Structure 1
Amino acid sequence: MVSGLSVAGEADVLNVTITRSGNHQYDFSVTVRHDDSGWEHYASKWEIVDPAGNLLATRTLLHPHVGEQPFTRSLRSVAIPAGITTVKVRAYDSVHQYGGTEIRVALPQ
């Protein structure tokens, strides 16, 4: 028997759009897919990390998106240190944590 908590699988990042908004500042728009089943199992955040794995920013998702899949949320004015030219965006769900599809993307110049 398969638990309802594990059926939803891991959260996948499907698309990332980045716009430069200032000196070392960027606006991110991220599309995530996860078969949210309710408060017990849902995509609860996405994160931006540098190539070394250091956390740069987190977009917390405050509720399940049961009827809205995939969904896109934004995070504005993310400070990215000088010298970093690519970042990775990963999603997190309340049961599996990390493990779904991640996207590495170049920052616009």
Structure 2
Amino acid sequence: MRSIFTLVMCGFLLMPSSPLLAGEADVIDVKVVKVDADVYRFSVTVRHTDEGWDHYADRWDILDMDGNNLGSRVLMHPHEDEQPFTRSKTLSLPMQVKKVRIRAHDKVHGVGGAEVVVIIPQ
């Protein structure tokens, strides 16, 4: 009986639709370019094993070092055939912000994957 249970559980874990396989969304690269006095363009590369409309990376956030959300880029659809993928957002930052943290979010796990900290160019 125990071996049947083990086989069933292994089969469940290997199913392509299992949210366990997709994991959390990871930020793997960030480029920041100053475009005006306090305006910056963030190009963020995210990796996530998107599995259709029910489980995909649906947002990334720019946070100050205290955890305050300075801006988000909403991702409107899965990127199953484009991994990793890069999307940009232009954002005005308060002048006192010298460093930010970028995190990604997915529809099943929320936040929790790899994050990147970047220094804001002057």
Q: Which moved more, 1:66-75 or 1:2-11?
A: 2-11
- Paired position in structure 1 for 2:18: 4
In the superposition, the TM-score normalised over structure 2's length comes to 0.86
Letter in 2 for 1:95: V
Which residue does the alignment assign to 1:66? Answer: 80
Partner of 1:26: 40
1:91 corresponds in structure 2 to: 104
Q: Give the C-alpha shift of residue 6 in structure 1.
A: 2.4
More strand by share: 1
Structure 2 residue runs of 5 or longer lacking an equivalent are 1-11
User: Which of 1 and 2 has higher RCO (CA within 8 Å, sep 6+)?
Assistant: 1
2:70 to 56, 64, 87: 56
**Residues 76-87 of structure 1 aligned to structure 2 (within 5 Å):** 76=90, 78-87=91-100
More helix by share: 2
In structure 2, the residue matched to 1:100 is: 113
Rounded to whole Å, the distance in 2 between the matches of 1:6 and 1:46 is 20
RMSD of aligned Cα (Å): 0.9
Extract structure 1 runs of 4+ deviating beyond 3 A: none
SS of residue paired to 1:6 = helix
Q: Which string of whole-angstrom CA distances, capped at 9 and with x for unpartnered residues, describes residues 13-53 of structure 1? A: 00000000111110000000000010110000000000110
**Paired residue total:** 108
Q: Secondary structure at the match of 2:73?
A: strand
% identity of equivalent residues = 49
Query: Which has the greater radius of gyration?
Result: 2
- Counterpart among 56, 60, 63 of residue 42 in structure 1: 56
Distance 1:88 1:24 in 2: 17
CA distance in 2, matches of 1:11, 1:58: 15
CA distance in 2, matches of 1:41, 1:25: 32
Distance 1:25 1:88 in 2: 17
The unaligned stretches of length 5 or more in structure 1 are none
Rounded to whole Å, the distance in 2 between the matches of 1:46 and 1:6 is: 20
